[in-house]
């Protein structure tokens, strides 16, 4: 990547201990209130985990080309860097982070490509993004970019819901008492619960497992009791979740079974004031978290107005998570 298309300053990035899931955080911004809210969550998370924080703004290439034609490209980049520094400094101050501890990056090009490239080059462990942003010619379309990152990134993505009404920044205690983890019962349920439990442990919160059972609709010409069948499925799901909770007691504090459509039911529970975060594993295929990678995560994000941490499902990331299970809790059943 040459100097004409990527202007960065990463001297603040330091080496973090290996025994952490979150060591370097990347937060893209576009100067909207939505991205400022995402930056506040990134700052709160940085303060809690002692991670490195990198903030990136992606300039529109057409705007830069127009500025270059009038010999104002450097002025445009410098102006963007000053605006970015002011935005970051004001937002991170309440979390005790000095501006000198944050790496600032100005890039030019397609937002998704530049965010992915930066995350890969700097070996980031987490991307924090707002779900909506400006759509003008000089600002990146953060909403569609976030959706694409959710579907394609190999990294965990913390997506922050859109700002509506009075803006409330996260406190230093975020995520608070509970993180909610939806589990799709099947061959991957234990791995999903384990990964979410490790994340909750690192963030200093307890995990609440949830399974959503979609009720079977009553069909007049079928001779079976749909109410009884639905109750049986809910009891079976609760029994299975309880076993998972007991196996992962070092990170899981409770479990619940809800009936309804997955995204709506998860959003309803996530809207509880004690739940500060939803942790979901995203993957391709049918089921609770399919069919399109990241799609249910995004629906929950919009419906619950609660941050959603979408975890990758690849084996390499899962091995990292398993390696951080407390040694005293490593039984064959739990890992």
Find out whether 133 and 141 touch, Cβ atoms under 8 Å. yes
Q: Which residue has the higher pLDDT, 79 or 177?
A: 177
Q: Three-state DSSP class for 62?
A: helix
Cα–Cα distances (Å) from 166 to 162, 163, 268, 277, in that order, read 12, 8, 21, 19
Question: pLDDT of 130-142, one tens digit each?
Answer: 876 544 333 344 4
Q: How confident is the model at residue 56 (pLDDT cuts 50, 70, 90)?
A: very high
Give Cα 60 to chain centroid, integer Å.
25
Q: How confident is the model at residue 225 (pLDDT cuts 50, 70, 90)?
A: low
d(CA 164, CA 304) in angstroms, rounded, equals 12
Count of CA atoms in the C-beta half-sphere (13 A) of 32 = 23
Work out the average pLDDT over 65-78.
52
* Token couple for 137: 């010619």
What lies within 8 Å, CB to CB, of 121 at 6+ separation is none
Q: Please give the order of strands across the beta sheet that includes 126-130.
A: 6-9, 102-108, 52-59, 24-29, 126-130, 157-160, 308-311, 275-281, 178-182, 206-213, 252-259
Residues above pLDDT 70, as percent of the chain = 76
**pLDDT > 60? residue 162:** yes
Q: How confident is the model at residue 251 (pLDDT cuts 50, 70, 90)?
A: very high
Mean pLDDT value across the chain: 80
**pLDDT > 70? residue 220:** no
pLDDT at 112: 87
Q: How confident is the model at residue 73 (pLDDT cuts 50, 70, 90)?
A: low
d(CA 141, CA 143) in angstroms, rounded, equals 6
Name the maximum alpha-carbon separation found in the chain: 78
Work out the average pLDDT over 109-138.
81
pLDDT at 14: 58
**pLDDT > 50? residue 97:** yes
**pLDDT > 70? residue 41:** yes
**pLDDT > 80? residue 153:** yes
Q: How confident is the model at residue 277 (pLDDT cuts 50, 70, 90)?
A: very high
d(CA 218, CA 220) in angstroms, rounded, equals 6
pLDDT at 198: 94
Q: Which residue has the higher pLDDT, 121 or 164?
A: 121
Work out the average pLDDT over 163-185.
89
Q: Which residue has the higher pLDDT, 177 or 220?
A: 177
Work out the average pLDDT over 248-276.
91
Q: How confident is the model at residue 77 (pLDDT cuts 50, 70, 90)?
A: low
Q: Which residue has the higher pLDDT, 335 or 217?
A: 217
Report all structural domains of the chain as residue ranges with CATH numbers, in order of start: 6-160 (3.40.50.620), 178-329 (3.40.50.620)
Look up the pTM and report it: 0.83
pLDDT at 282: 82
pLDDT at 197: 95
**pLDDT > 70? residue 269:** yes
Contacts 24+ apart (CB under 8 A), 64-72: 64/108
Work out the average pLDDT over 153-159.
92
pLDDT at 68: 43
pLDDT at 200: 95
Question: pLDDT of 298-330, one tens digit each?
Answer: 678 777 789 999 999 888 888 888 888 887 666
Q: Which residue has the higher pLDDT, 76 or 167?
A: 167
């Amino acid at each position: 990547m040459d100097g004409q298309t990527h202007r960065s300053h990463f001297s603040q990035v330091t080496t973090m201990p290996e025994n952490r899931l979150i060591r370097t955080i990347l937060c893209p911004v576009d100067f909207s209130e939505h991205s400022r809210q995402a930056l506040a969550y990134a700052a709160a998370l940085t303060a809690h985990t002692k991670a490195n924080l990198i903030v990136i703004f992606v300039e529109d290439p057409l705007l830069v080309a127009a500025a270059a034609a009038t010999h104002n490209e450097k002025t445009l980049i410098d102006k963007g860097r000053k605006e970015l520094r002011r935005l970051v400094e004001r937002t991170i101050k309440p979390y005790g982070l000095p501006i000198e501890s944050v790496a600032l990056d100005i890039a030019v090009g397609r937002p998704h490509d530049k965010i992915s490239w930066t995350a890969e080059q700097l070996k980031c462990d987490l991307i924090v993004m707002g779900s909506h942003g400006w759509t003008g010619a000089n600002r990146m379309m953060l909403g569609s970019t976030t959706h694409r990152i959710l579907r394609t990134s190999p990294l965990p993505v913390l997506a922050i819901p859109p700002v509506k009404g009075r803006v409330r920044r996260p406190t230093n205690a975020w995520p608070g008492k509970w993180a909610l983890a939806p589990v799709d019962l099947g061959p991957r349920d234990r791995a999903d619960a384990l990964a979410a439990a490790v994340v909750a442990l690192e963030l200093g919160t307890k995990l609440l497992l949830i399974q959503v059972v979609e009720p079977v609709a009553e069909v007049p010409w079928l001779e079976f009791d749909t109410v009884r069948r639905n109750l049986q499925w809910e009891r079976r799901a609760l029994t299975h979740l309880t076993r998972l909770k007991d196996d992962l007691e070092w990170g899981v504090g409770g479990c619940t079974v809800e009936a309804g459509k997955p995204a709506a039911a998860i959003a309803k529970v996530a809207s509880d004031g004690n739940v500060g975060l939803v942790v979901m594993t995203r993957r391709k295929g049918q089921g609770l978290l399919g069919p399109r990678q990241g799609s249910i995560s995004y629906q929950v994000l919009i419906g619950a107005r609660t941050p959603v941490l979408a975890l990758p499902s690849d084996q390499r990331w899962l091995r990292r998570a398993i390696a951080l299970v407390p040694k005293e809790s490593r039984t064959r059943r739990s890992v």
